[in-house]
């Protein structure tokens, strides 16, 4: 270790220490610190190498400090809404199937233990996040952290050197969830709805200018990855946006989308479009096969890999076990090696079996219902117009991430779990905001809220879930 640390190292270490200490008093700070560590990945960052000798597990330290903060502030957090419900328990059920697969599947390998350790940590983070992010301000802080972290990755993409590119595609950037071009590209696309929401509703010129710069850098990062998974996610997301954009924002969102498409097109080159032109070939029998000089297949593409995964599941209905897919895929026809299952659902079927797929489907169904309830309740109250854009951005982001996950495996990606938990946060934030408006003594806010709730008869169940009744409020918690 040198006598003098670089300024970047000092700034990072000071920010991390302050974030962990702040988490004990304000747990939200711990959630934001954890996410920034997730994006920055100090393990490989040059500015963290001078303190690598400390062997700090940054994510675990941030999570533990946040857990301490949750314990010390439990009474206040409990007052913000009801305790954990079935939605959060479904996340736990999915992780439980991962533990079960360690015994019902093949013998666990090192990857199995590492992945299970990671997903256990992610589960605890999600459970804490849904207890902490329960009001509009904390929800906005969460989305801003996602945008800031994505800005960091996009800037790193912009300044990446030649060693960061493999076959002309950006790789080895950020943590393990972003170290390959498809994963990074899908993440960039999934964050665009949040950035677009800030462009439309951000307060002040500096805020919108930052969002604009971030959007440009993110589009540039997508082009640098040259990934077809990102392109299919963009196409699906744009189609969804045209059909589901909230009416008050439709014109401006379409204008922003068109301007973004024109700007992104200007960043592309011939090589980018040559690769995009191969999208139809990904569904062919010999898609993406890599061969050696002798013509022998070295790495299989999507269709051969999915055939092997189907055979794997038929032979092991309960799954081959978490982390075992890549190690065992060659044992099933057509007996080629594959670096990835190339599909989130396929990976879930192959490794976690039928129980894992059912649990994952239950999580997705619960998320859809939570977003639907939030959107309907927001539509019933004109004072929450801005939140309708938040709900649309979150819905679009999850959809884009899942579409991208149809051609690249994202089952064990932390960001997917974070996005799937955010509808719970938004729903609770909405409920607490409605309570705040109902309790406002001026301008007849309570009567206005009661009228708006009575005008939404289809949402009675959603209102009860949020602690609301058509006549006013039910006791919180």
Q: Is the pLDDT of residue 471 over 50?
A: no
pLDDT recorded at residue 454: 44
Neighbours of 41 (CB within 10 A): 19
Neighbours of 113 (CB within 10 A): 13
pLDDT recorded at residue 463: 52
Query: Bigger pLDDT: 234 or 176?
Result: 234
pLDDT recorded at residue 416: 95
Average pLDDT on 173-192 reads: 89
| Residue-wise pLDDT tens digits, 315-356 | 999 999 999 999 998 888 877 777 788 899 999 999 999 999
| Residue-wise pLDDT tens digits, 413-462 | 999 999 999 999 998 888 888 887 777 655 554 444 444 444 444 455 55
**Distances, alpha carbon 229 to alpha carbons 152, 326, 344, 408, 449, in Å:** 22, 20, 12, 7, 44
| Residue-wise pLDDT tens digits, 238-247 | 888 877 877 7
Q: What percent of the chain has pLDDT over 90?
A: 49
For residue 401, the Cα-to-chain-centroid distance in whole angstroms is 7
Q: Is the pLDDT of residue 469 over 50?
A: no
Beta bridge partners of 299: 290, 337
| Residue-wise pLDDT tens digits, 15-51 | 999 999 999 999 999 999 999 999 998 988 888 888 8
* Lowest-pLDDT range of 69-83, 137-151, 402-416: 69-83
DSSP labels, 75-131: HHHHHTS----HHHHHHHHHHHHHHHHHHHSSPP-HHHHHHHHHHHHHHHHHHHHHH
Q: Is the pLDDT of residue 470 over 60?
A: no
pLDDT recorded at residue 290: 52
pLDDT recorded at residue 466: 52
Q: Is the pLDDT of residue 152 over 70?
A: yes
pLDDT recorded at residue 137: 93
Interatomic CA distance for residues 29 and 139, integer angstroms: 12
* Lowest-pLDDT range of 139-153, 252-266, 269-283: 269-283
Give buried/exposed letters for 117-141 (b at 16+ CB in 10 A, else e): ebbebbbbbbbbbbbbbbbbebbbe
166 band by pLDDT with thresholds 50, 70 and 90: confident
Average pLDDT on 157-178 reads: 85
Average pLDDT on 379-388 reads: 78
299 band by pLDDT with thresholds 50, 70 and 90: low
pLDDT recorded at residue 82: 56
Read off the DSSP letter of residue 456: -
**377: CB partners within 8 A, 6+ apart:** 384, 430, 434, 456, 459, 462, 463, 466
Give buried/exposed letters for 309-345 (b at 16+ CB in 10 A, else e): bebbbeebebbbbbbbbbbbbeebeeebebebbbbbb
Average pLDDT on 91-101 reads: 95
Average pLDDT of the chain is: 84
Q: Is 166 exposed, middle or buried (0-12, 13-18, 19+ CB in 10 A)?
A: exposed
Q: Domains of the chain: which residue ranges?
A: 1-77, 99-119+138-416
Q: Answer yes or no: are the C-beta atoms of 23 and 69 closer than 8 Å.
A: yes
Q: Which two tokens stand for residue 118?
A: 């990671």
pLDDT recorded at residue 291: 45
Q: Is the pLDDT of residue 257 over 50?
A: yes
Quote the radius of gyration of the chain (alpha carbons, Å): 23
Dihedral class, residue 41 (left if φ above 0, else alpha if ψ from -120 to 50, else beta): left
282 band by pLDDT with thresholds 50, 70 and 90: low
Q: Is the pLDDT of residue 64 over 80?
A: yes
| Cis status, amide bond into 334, omega within 30 of 0 | yes
């Amino acid at each position: 270790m040198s006598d003098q640390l670089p300024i970047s190292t000092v700034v990072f270490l000071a920010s991390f220490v302050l974030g962990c200490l702040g988490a004990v008093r304000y747990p939200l700070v711990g959630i934001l610190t954890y996410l920034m560590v997730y994006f920055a990945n100090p393990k490989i960052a040059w500015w963290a190498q001078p303190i690598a000798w400390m062997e700090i597990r940054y994510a675990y330290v941030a999570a533990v400090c946040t857990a301490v903060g949750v314990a010390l502030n439990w009474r206040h957090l409990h007052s913000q809404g009801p305790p954990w419900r079935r939605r959060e328990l479904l996340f736990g059920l999915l992780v439980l199937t991962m533990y079960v697969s360690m015994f019902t599947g093949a013998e666990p390998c090192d990857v199995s233990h590492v992945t299970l350790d990671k997903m256990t940590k992610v589960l605890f983070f999600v459970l804490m996040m849904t207890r902490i992010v329960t009001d509009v301000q904390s929800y906005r802080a969460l989305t801003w952290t996602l945008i800031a972290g994505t800005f960091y990755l996009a800037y790193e993409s912009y300044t990446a050197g030649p060693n960061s590119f493999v076959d002309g595609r950006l790789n080895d950037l950020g943590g393990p969830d972003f170290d390959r071009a498809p994963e990074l590209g899908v993440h960039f696309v999934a964050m665009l709805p949040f950035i677009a929401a800030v462009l439309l509703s951000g307060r002040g010129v500096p805020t919108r200018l930052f969002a604009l710069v971030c959007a440009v850098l993110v589009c540039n990062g997508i082009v640098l990855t040259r990934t077809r998974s990102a392109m299919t996610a963009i196409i699906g997301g744009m189609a969804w946006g045209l059909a589901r954009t909230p009416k008050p924002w439709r014109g401006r969102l379409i204008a922003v989308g068109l301007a973004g498409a024109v700007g992104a097109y200007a960043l592309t080159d011939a090589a980018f479009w040559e690769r995009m032109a191969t999208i139809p070939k990904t569904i062919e029998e010999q898609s993406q096969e890599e061969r050696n000089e002798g013509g022998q297949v070295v790495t299989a593409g999507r269709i051969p890999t999915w055939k092997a995964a189907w055979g794997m599941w038929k032979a092991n209905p309960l799954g081959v076990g978490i982390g075992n897919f890549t190690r065992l895929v060659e044992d099933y026809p057509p007996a080629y090696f594959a670096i990835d299952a190339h599909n989130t659902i396929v990976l879930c079927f192959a490794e976690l079996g039928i129980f894992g797929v059912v649990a994952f489907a239950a999580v997705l169904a619960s998320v859809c219902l939570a977003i639907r309830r939030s959107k309907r309740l927001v539509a019933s109250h004109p004072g929450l117009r801005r939140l309708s854009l938040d709900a649309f951005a979150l819905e679009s982001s999850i959809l884009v991430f899942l579409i991208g996950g149809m051609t690249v495996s994202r089952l064990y990606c932390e960001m997917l779990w974070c996005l799937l938990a955010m509808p719970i946060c938004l729903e609770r934030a909405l409920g607490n905001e409605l309570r705040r408006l109902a309790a406002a003594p001026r301008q007849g806010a309570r009567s206005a809220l009661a009228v708006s709730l009575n005008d939404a008869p289809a949402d009675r169940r959603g209102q009860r879930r949020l602690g609301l009744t058509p006549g006013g409020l039910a006791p919180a918690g």
